[in-house]
């Protein structure tokens, strides 16, 4: 029996993760040959497709955005001071960056698949990344070993978030039929994300294998990342009960821009701390796979009951 589209989506994310892990060496060569531009280009393309659905006139700030920002920044500092006396500075930095990292670029894509209010998520994504660019430099200076500025952070965010949003809005204005086509075929963004996930998992697996850290420290960092991943997804789910959009807050709070977090760790913290956000990549995508499975199962049950 042929797989339905929903069943196919359920298995594709874990399959992409396995393929990426197995093909890590050739994928690393492909990334190197592209000048490390392939993944950012794929992310920008998938966001452009999703952003074509967004009418900028409907974008509004919501009180939940402030709550999530407070959790992100107050929570990251709190986690650091809780973990540091127990497991040391390196693990504390890894834990901190897993909370401090902004919402993932792909969170909007996954949220769209799960029925979230995409406009709310896009609004938060833009606000979150701008606030992150303002607050992360002084926090890294306080808790890390390096310093960076607002312009450095924006330079990392703009090509993969702000630029696709601006181009999508121009497309809606100048080429409305083209934008409407992309908006009605937004599932394309999911398949673009799968390709980028394969590349990211290849890089993640290779990084963990080659990391210059003791196995014990690696396990501590991975375990802390798992706990924080579950906690942040859980907090987002709790917040969603008050906002009326559980999916939007769950994805916005739990799904982190781990590629950005790894870059911050490598450049401005103890490089070994980057194992935590690297492991977070695995945990959050396993959770996303489970959420897609549950959502598709619910849709299938509704169709069966309707018959």
Pick 5-294's CATH classification: 3.90.245.10, 1.10.238.10, 1.20.1530.20, 1.10.340.30.
Answer: 1.20.1530.20
* pLDDT band, very low/low/confident/very high, at 77 (cuts 50, 70, 90): very high
Can you tell me the distance from the alpha carbon of 153 to that of 146, in angstroms, rounded to the nearest whole number? 14
Can you tell me the distance from the alpha carbon of 24 to that of 82, in angstroms, rounded to the nearest whole number? 35
Q: Give me 218's structure tokens.
A: 């690696």
- Placement of tokens 């399959």 in the chain: 15
Q: What is the 3-state secondary structure (H, E, C) of 76-113?
A: HHHHHHHHHHHHCHHHHHHHHHHHHCCECCCHHHHHHH
What percent of the chain is modeled with pLDDT above 70?
93
SS3 257: coil
Per residue in 136-175, pLDDT (tens digit) is: 888 887 877 666 777 778 887 778 888 888 999 999 998 8
Considering only CA atoms, which of 176, 136, 165 is closest in space to residue 265? Answer: 136
Q: What is the pTM of this model?
A: 0.86
Per residue in 98-136, pLDDT (tens digit) is: 999 999 888 888 888 888 888 899 999 999 988 988 888
pLDDT recorded at residue 142: 80
Considering only CA atoms, which of 269, 276, 271, 280 is closest in space to residue 139? Answer: 269
Q: What is the mean pLDDT of residues 219-237?
A: 94
pLDDT recorded at residue 1: 39
Residue 79 has pLDDT above 70, yes or no: yes
pLDDT recorded at residue 157: 79
Domain-by-domain residue ranges, the chain?
5-294
Q: What is the mean pLDDT of residues 301-307?
A: 63
Q: List residues bridging with 256 in a β-sheet.
A: 103
Can you tell me the distance from the alpha carbon of 280 to that of 261, in angstroms, rounded to the nearest whole number? 10
Residue 5 has pLDDT above 70, yes or no: no
Per residue in 189-209, pLDDT (tens digit) is: 888 888 888 888 888 888 778
Angle at 73 between CA 71 and CA 76, to 5 degrees: 90
* pLDDT band, very low/low/confident/very high, at 302 (cuts 50, 70, 90): low
Q: Give me 4's structure tokens.
A: 């339905």
Q: What is the mean pLDDT of residues 239-260?
A: 91
* Residue 81 burial (10 A CB sphere; 0-12, 13-18, 19+): exposed
Can you tell me the distance from the alpha carbon of 83 to that of 13, in angstroms, rounded to the nearest whole number? 32
Q: Cβ distance 94 to 273 under 8 Å?
A: yes
Helix, strand, coil % (nearest 5) of the chain?
A: 85, 0, 15
- The mean predicted confidence, pLDDT, of the chain is 85
């Amino acid at each position: 029996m042929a797989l339905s589209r929903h069943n196919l989506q359920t298995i594709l994310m874990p399959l992409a993760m396995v393929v990426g892990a197995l093909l890590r060496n050739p994928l690393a060569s492909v990334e190197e040959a592209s000048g490390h531009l392939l993944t950012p280009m794929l992310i920008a393309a998938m966001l452009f497709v999703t952003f074509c659905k967004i009418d900028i006139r409907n974008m509004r700030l919501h009180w939940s955005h402030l709550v999530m920002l407070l959790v992100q920044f107050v929570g990251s500092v709190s986690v650091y001071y809780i973990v540091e006396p127990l497991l040391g500075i390196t693990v504390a930095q890894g834990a901190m960056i897993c909370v401090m990292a902004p919402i993932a670029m792909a969170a909007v894509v996954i949220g769209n698949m799960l029925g979230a209010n995409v406009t709310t998520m896009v609004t938060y994504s833009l606000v979150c990344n701008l606030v992150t660019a303002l607050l992360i430099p002084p926090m890294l200076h306080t808790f890390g070993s390096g310093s960076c500025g607002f312009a450095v952070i924006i330079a990392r965010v703009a090509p993969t978030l702000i630029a696709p949003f601006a181009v999508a809005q121009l497309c809606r204005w100048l080429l409305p039929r083209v934008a409407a086509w992309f908006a009605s075929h937004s599932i394309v963004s999911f398949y673009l994300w799968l390709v980028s996930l394969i590349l990211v998992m290849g890089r993640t697996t290779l990084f963990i294998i080659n990391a210059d850290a003791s196995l014990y420290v690696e396990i501590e960092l991975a375990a802390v990342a798992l706990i924080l991943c579950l906690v942040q997804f859980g907090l987002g789910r709790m917040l969603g009960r008050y906002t009326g959009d559980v999916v939007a807050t769950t994805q916005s709070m739990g799904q982190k821009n781990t590629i950005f977090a790894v870059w911050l760790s490598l450049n401005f913290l103890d490089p070994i701390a980057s194992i935590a956000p690297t492991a977070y990549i695995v945990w959050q995508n396993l959770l996303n796979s489970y959420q897609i499975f549950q959502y598709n199962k619910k849709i299938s049950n509704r169709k069966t009951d309707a018959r």
